[in-house]
Amino acid sequence: MIEQRISIGNIDPIDFYGVGNTKFNLLKEFFPKLKITARGDEIIIQGEESDIEILHSKITALLEHYHRYNMLTVANLKRILLEDNVLENPEDLASVILFGNSGKAIRARTPNQRKLVELARDNDLLFATGPAGSGKTYTAIALAVKALRNREVKRIILSRPAVEAGESLGFLPGDLKEKVDPYLQPLYDALSDMIPPKKLEDYLATDIIQIAPLAYMRGRTLNDAFVILDEAQNTTRNQLKMFLTRMGVSAKFVITGDMSQIDLPRKSDSGLTHAFKILHKIRGIAFVEFDARDIIRHRLVKEIVKAYEKEGEKEEKKKERQD
């Protein structure tokens, strides 16, 4: 347990804490694991470092709001704490997986994202498939960061198979790290939303968080780790089998992929498609199938995905008639 003190500066404590400490007490309710007291212009926080970091970022956001608008209402406070523009019900804390940088609430925002969160509580191996933009990988990484913060695991390992869509890593300049880093950039982007830059840099330097191509997993036993394999539709059967058998004690594995984006020479060789067929009945393995309704990018992405799905169905029917 550590202690941290945060100054509210020259703001009138009544304006910031509320008459009778109404706003301050509401703030305390949102962080029940922390001991929070106010002494004049100082807020004193005691508790776990990870929880204090979240509260600190929230208080910073509240102070910024006050200095910008010269006021802080209860509604303002709730909006900043809950990011109520995301939810229909701003009181819904159940959707929050964790608070990321600047106090940003990282949420399970769709039914299937919530399903993934719920199934992760009781299953050590999960498969999440669906179209681009449905949030399957982002949600999985949020679960991994939460597990690390809660000390449920000692490290996070993120991986992708090195299969490129019409490109070759061999033609990219630089050493191996420089070649694969751009390919793994989406994983870095997600982590950057959830972990402060300096801490993320430290985690990567000390291998508390590892990001590497799938080939680096061979021969390892992954204990006490939250492991995510992204773009798993581009694994072969043997590659996915190799990855799954790396699972060690106190480990949680999440495999994500998009069946419509297989870049292998023969789509039938996909290890993800094969795993769906043969692993469904094993207890402790859960499956979540995302769809276009889960897409939370630009509204046009949903329409694009639907158009491609419709065209794919037409081609399948045409192929069946020809056969």
pLDDT reported for residue 84 = 33
Lowest-confidence segment of 33-47, 153-167, 227-241 by average pLDDT: 153-167
Asked if 130 and 290 touch (Cβ cutoff 8 Å), the reply is yes
Q: How far apart, in Å, are the Cα atoms of 127 and each of 132, 137, 186, 194, 255?
A: 15, 11, 19, 22, 5
pLDDT number for residue 86? 35
User: Which is more confident, 140 or 268?
Assistant: 140
Least confident of 113-127, 137-151, 292-306: 292-306
Residues 93 and 275: their CA atoms lie apart, in Å, by: 34
CA–CA distance, 245 with 258 (Å, rounded to integer): 22
Give the per-residue pLDDT at 298.
61
In this predicted structure, the answer to whether residue 91 has a pLDDT above a threshold of 80 is: no
Residues in a beta bridge with 105 = 99
What is the pLDDT confidence band of residue 305, given thresholds at 50, 70 and 90? Answer: confident
What DSSP character marks residue 293?
Answer: G
Count the helices and strands in the chain (H runs, E runs). Answer: 12, 11
Q: What is the mean pLDDT of the chain?
A: 83
The per-residue pLDDT for 89 is 41
Return the pLDDT at 112.
92
Whether the pLDDT of residue 118 is over 70: the answer is yes
Would you state the pLDDT for residue 183? Answer: 63
pLDDT at res. 102 = 66
Rounded Cα distance, 149 and 158, in Å: 16
* Per-residue CA distances from 190 to 18, 31, 186 (Å): 36, 24, 6
Predicted pLDDT of residue 275:
93
Distance CA 259, CA 24 (A): 49
Q: Is the pLDDT of residue 186 over 90?
A: no
pLDDT at 218 over 80: yes
Task: Please tell me the distance from the alpha carbon of residue 245 to that of residue 222, in angstroms, as a whole number.
Answer: 9
Specify whether the CB–CB gap between 254 and 126 falls below 8 A: yes
Distance, CA of 157 to CA of 248 (rounded, Å): 13
Q: Tell me, what's the pLDDT at 67?
A: 79
Helices (H), 225-291: 237-244, 271-278
Q: Does 221 score more than 60 pLDDT?
A: yes
Please say if the pLDDT value at position 296 is more than 70: no
- DSSP β-ladder status, 209-213 and 155-160: parallel
Q: What percent of the chain has pLDDT over 90?
A: 41
Place of tokens 């799905």: 309
Q: What is the pLDDT of residue 260?
A: 86
Report the pLDDT averaged over residues 125-142.
92
Burial of 220 (0-12, 13-18, 19+ CB in 10 A): middle
Cβ–Cβ under 8 Å, residues 106 and 194: yes
Which residue did the predictor score with more confidence, 30 or 99? 30
**Helix ranges (DSSP H) in the chain:** 13-17, 22-30, 49-69, 74-82, 111-122, 136-149, 176-180, 185-194, 197-205, 237-244, 271-278, 299-322
Q: How far is CA 232 from CA 66, 155, 239, 319, in A?
A: 46, 21, 9, 26
Q: What one-character-per-residue DSSP string does 110-135 give?
A: SHHHHHHHHHHHH-SEEEEE--TTS-
Give the pLDDT confidence score for residue 105 in this predicted structure. Answer: 73
- pLDDT for res 56: 86
* Per-residue confidence (pLDDT) for residue 94, from 0 to 100: 65
Note the pLDDT tens digit of each residue in 237-267. 999 999 999 999 999 999 999 988 888 888 8
Dump pLDDT digits (tens) for 9-66. 888 899 999 999 999 999 998 888 899 999 988 999 999 988 888 888 888 888 887 8
pLDDT at 268 > cutoff 90: no
